[in-house]
């Protein structure tokens, strides 16, 4: 549908809008050249740091790709574990510490086990995903369950978190 529109659009404005759209889509594709560089986020966090919660699997064969960086192990998705964006991961300084995730009127404790790499992506180690944005708390389904988020809404949620 999008391709059809891109080739057939006749109004100049529409063409420009769609071209912009097409470039955006192009820009989001993974390029396995290893040349994509994300921005490092600051490692310091306030007592309530804003972040975006995403859903990840930390199990063998899950979409986390590979063993968790902190302990070289897989983790059951029934345990509350998270990966943090590179800046917050801060060279493993939060490894195996717990953070408190606040959302939906609840506070949930989760253990930091992995990095959501904001500087590299697009390889087997990162499940061919593009680099992680710098404001991500990537959580197992146990975290989503504990927050009481209904299953249809799992995947993206504004949260705050703090060291605990
Ligand atoms: C984090 O929480 C888990 C589960 O409650 C606990 O087993 C673990 O000892 C805690 N880790 C630290 C570093 O406090």
CATH of the domain at 59: 2.40.40.10
98 CA to centre of ligand 1 in angstroms:
6
pLDDT for the residue numbered 124: 76
Residue 101 lies in a domain: yes
In a domain, 26, yes or no: no
How many domains is the chain built from?
A: 1
Answering whether pTM is above 0.75, one says no
pLDDT of residue 119: 87
Q: Is the CB of 97 under 6 A from ligand 1?
A: yes
pLDDT per residue, tens digit, the chain (164 aa), is 444 443 444 444 444 444 444 444 444 444 444 334 445 555 656 678 999 999 999 999 887 768 999 999 999 999 999 999 999 999 999 999 999 999 999 999 999 999 998 888 777 777 777 889 999 999 999 999 999 999 999 999 999 999 99
Domain contains 13: no
* First CA to last CA distance, the chain: 48
Q: Whose CA is nearest to atom 10 of ligand 1?
A: 98
3-state SS of the chain: helix, strand, coil percent to 5? 25, 25, 50
CA-to-CA distance for 92 and 69, rounded, in angstroms? Answer: 8
Query: Which pLDDT does position 10 carry in this prediction?
Result: 44
Spatial distance between the Cα atoms of 55 and 105, rounded to a whole number of angstroms: 19
Q: Does 32 fall in a domain?
A: no
- Decide if 41 is inside a domain: no
Distance from Cα 8 to the centre of ligand 1, integer Å: 58
d(CA 16, CA 48) in angstroms, rounded, equals 41
Q: Is 146 in the pocket of ligand 1 (CB under 6 A)?
A: no
CA of 60 to the centre of ligand 1 (A): 22
- The reply to whether 67 falls in a domain is yes
Atom of ligand 1 nearest to the CA of 97: 13
| pLDDT reported for residue 62 | 81
The residue contributing the CA closest to ligand 1 atom 2 is: 98
- The whole domain housing 159 covers 49-163
Question: Is 38 a domain residue?
Answer: no
- 91-114 b/e with 16+ CB inside 10 Å = b? eeebbeebbebebbeeebebbbbb
Task: Tell me the C-alpha distance between 102 and 22, whole Å.
Answer: 37
| Calpha distance 81→74 (Å, rounded) | 11
Q: Which atom of ligand 1 is nearest to the CA of 80?
A: 4
């Amino acid at each position: 549908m999008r391709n059809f529109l891109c080739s057939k659009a006749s109004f100049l404005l529409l063409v420009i809008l769609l071209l912009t759209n097409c470039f955006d889509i192009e820009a989001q594709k993974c390029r396995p050249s290893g040349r994509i560089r994300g921005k490092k986020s600051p490692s310091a966090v306030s007592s309530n740091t804003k972040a975006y919660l995403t859903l990840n699997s930390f199990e063998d064969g899950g979409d986390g790709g590979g063993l968790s960086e902190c302990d070289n192990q897989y983790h059951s998705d029934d345990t509350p574990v998270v990966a943090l964006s590179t800046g917050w991961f801060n060279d493993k300084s939060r490894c195996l510490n717990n953070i408190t995730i606040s959302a939906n009127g609840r506070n949930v404790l989760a253990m930091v086990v992995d990095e959501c790499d904001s500087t590299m992506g697009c390889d087997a180690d990162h499940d061919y995903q593009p680099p992680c944005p710098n404001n991500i708390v990537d959580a197992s389904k146990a975290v989503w369950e504990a927050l009481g988020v209904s299953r249809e809404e799992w995947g993206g949620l504004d949260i705050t978190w703090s060291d605990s």
